[in-house]
Amino acid sequence: MTVTHVDPIEAAAASPAEARARYRDGLEVPTTGWATGFTQANMVMLPKEWAFDMLLFGQRNPQPVPLLDVTDPGATTTVLAPGADLRTDLPRYRVWRDGELVDEPSDVVDLWRDDLVTFFIGCSFSFESALLDAGVPVRNIEQGRNVSMYRTNRDCRSAGRLSGPLVVSMRPVPAELVVTAVQVTGRMPQVHGAPVHVGSPESLGIADLSRPDFGDAVESQPGDVPVFWACGVTPQAALMASRPPFAITHAPGYMLVTDVPDATYRLP
């Protein structure tokens, strides 16, 4: 993997199409902070033979798996980002065989199959800007880290052959701003919506907040309360648990940058 210095101001000011062109040309960086104001999306590609189960899994678990778009089999484009080629325009992919992560390439052109259906799932990056707008600090952004994510002891509703645990992201929120955080994100159901839990990691089966299952550890400040949101990595946990023969996803943090303004997913 190439390490490339990217100017954060330049990244934030890039249009979604400019950001995707950079990734297509080989830039492999997390998408946080890029193309400010535009929605980023989680991605899962599965053969048509598994697509009904995945679509049903999303329908039954709308909080962790809010489906923003689902393509026709073999389509390499999405209405969320006209002009994007889904095989090349994310900065990093993950390839799964029988539920095992086998590769993290920067494109999937050679792996492409005409029976692949692509699912785009809302991402909590969209509500982080809404939290900031409402005066709620976002510690993972302050600390320049990926958000902390954890497997929980709660099962998703299964769908055919797909099942797995609810995965949550956690953000430490100052206690006096927890209500604001609930209200702001509750108005964004297509990007995970209101928190699923406030305050007690152990009731979700999380033993140690400093050891997340995905992403980075994020430090709480004095007076912060841990707040948990349903997380778009949940489908990846379902792939690991349910072991379909073949799947492609985005790499965590390396999302599709869409042309859809974040405000589209805010209810009045």
CA neighbours within 13 Å on the CB side: how many for 155?
8
Question: Which neighbouring-strand residues pair with 100?
Answer: 97
Query: If residue 121 lies in a helix (H) or strand (E), which one and from where to where?
Result: strand 116-122
**Tokens matching residue 39:** 């929605």
Answer for which of 6, 27, 70, 209 binds its own copies (CB under 8 A) is 70
Answer for which of 35, 45, 55, 167 binds its own copies (CB under 8 A) is 55
Q: How far is the CB of 97 from its own copies (least distance, A)?
A: 23
Answer for which of 3, 7, 9, 268 binds its own copies (CB under 8 A) is 268
- Residues 158-187 interacting with its own copies (rule: CB under 8 A): 160, 186-187
Identify the CA nearest to 184 among candidates 123, 121, 133: 133
**Tokens matching residue 44:** 């899962």
* Distance in angstroms (rounded) separating the CA atoms of residues 149 and 168: 6
Question: Does 51 contact its own copies by CB under 8 A?
Answer: yes
CA neighbours within 13 Å on the CB side: how many for 133?
13
- Residues 198-257 interacting with its own copies (rule: CB under 8 A): none
Question: Does 74 contact its own copies by CB under 8 A?
Answer: no
Residue (55 or 251) nearer to its own copies, CB: 55
Question: Does 56 contact its own copies by CB under 8 A?
Answer: yes
Q: How far is the CB of 224 from its own copies (least distance, A)?
A: 25
Residue (13 or 79) nearer to its own copies, CB: 79
Identify the CA nearest to 67 among candidates 254, 223, 235, 257: 235
Q: Where are the beta strands (DSSP E) in 33-141?
A: 38-47, 67-70, 93-97, 100-103, 116-122
Q: How far is the CB of 114 from its own copies (least distance, A)?
A: 15
Site residues for its own copies per CB under 8 A: 48, 51-52, 55-56, 58-60, 67, 70, 72, 160, 186-187, 267-268
